[in-house]
Amino acid sequence: MISFIVPVFYKDVNSFIFKRALGLIDKFANHPKIEVIIADSSEISNLSTKADNIKIIHTYSGDRVFSPSKARNIAVKAATKKYLFFYDVDMDYSGSFETLLFNEIEEVLENKKSNFIAIPFLYLTKKGTSLFESNKVLELFKNSFLKGENNLVESISLNSSAMVMSKEYFMFIGGFEDFFAGHGGEDYNFIHQLCANNPHSIRNLDYYDDFKTPFIANAKGFRLYMAYYSLPNFFKNLILIHRWHPRPLNNNFYSQRVKNENLLQKKMKAFDLKFKGQIWKSTEPMPKIRDFIIALMQNYNYDPKKYPGFFSYADGVKPIKRPFSNKIRKLITRPGEFFKDIKFIGKLMR
């Protein structure tokens, strides 16, 4: 029914990515409904399996920096199922996820209600990841996030590569841009093209702004517009878990972020100019994000006052104290964000 597309890159068998790839192979081996295509872009591929439903493709290209875009595009060519799910080796999910996913595919994609499904995920803390490994109960982490806590869940991602669509539609859109290498950019660029061809409303005037905030209710720019696709799925429990992992300071993969963010702006604008008059065909006004979230919460019997996670931290909860290496990385790669964070945290601490 569906092919999971999973790009991986690791230096050696001691890498946490390699170990998680082994866990992923064990999880999906001989699954009757899921085909897994692993695009292994490591210089030496050490992954193997006897499972008929898992294909491991060596996609090493000799590039200085790993490109998830290239890996995914190659993996898609090997996929044999009707639908594609762009998955990450750090992702996982609770027991009911597959049933919910297959039902959503049947309801939404098979019935032509939409051309894609956007799936949100929760970034777990180190503590949350350890707990999830022994207790894969989604409600524990979902409720912790909604309550405005951050001891188990660090944040939520409403816009990512975690999307489901038919292989045919993926080819129609044109796949991921190979120009992106390293962390960031390629997923937003792809989502931008999906939004342009499937707009839910008129774009916000600040759409091209790359504005980051820990609370989606304060969102602006393209991150705001894109969030409307996945937010309803959060309340359907169609949620992925992103497990914590270290980010080495000297890893080239993470040092490309600023470059990719600048490239993203150029690519989005160039795409819109190229297809001007053919895309963004919606006359519906965009609902206010706070009203949109509150309506969803009320439909699912969540009191926004008791569950402020989309709007703020709970009383007494302070921002997570980052490791010193994280601060150094941000100062080097994204100095503007570094100094904005200092001002924001200062306000919260007052």
Q: What is the DSSP string of 245-266?
A: ----TT-TTGGGHHHHHHHHHH
What integer pLDDT is reported at residue 299 of this predicted model? 98
Place of tokens 């602006």: 220
What integer pLDDT is reported at residue 253 of this predicted model? 47
What integer pLDDT is reported at residue 92 of this predicted model? 97
Amino acid letter for position 342: I
Enumerate residue ranges in the chain where pLDDT < 70.
182-184, 248-256, 323-350
* Distance separating alpha carbons of residues 149 and 124, to the nearest angstrom: 12
Q: Would you say 311 and 290 are in contact if contact means Cβ atoms under 8 Å apart? A: yes
pLDDT digits (tens, 9 = 90+) for 123-155: 999 999 999 999 999 999 999 999 999 999 999
What integer pLDDT is reported at residue 337 of this predicted model? 62
The whole model's pTM is what? 0.90
pLDDT digits (tens, 9 = 90+) for 6-36: 999 999 999 999 999 999 999 999 999 999 9
What integer pLDDT is reported at residue 328 of this predicted model? 55
- 160 to 139, 156, 269: CA distances (angstroms): 22, 11, 19
Q: Would you say 254 and 178 are in contact if contact means Cβ atoms under 8 Å apart? A: no
β-pairing, 2-8 vs 34-40, is parallel
Angle, to 10 degrees, between the axis of helix 324-333 and the axis of helix 335-349?
A: 130
What integer pLDDT is reported at residue 319 of this predicted model? 93
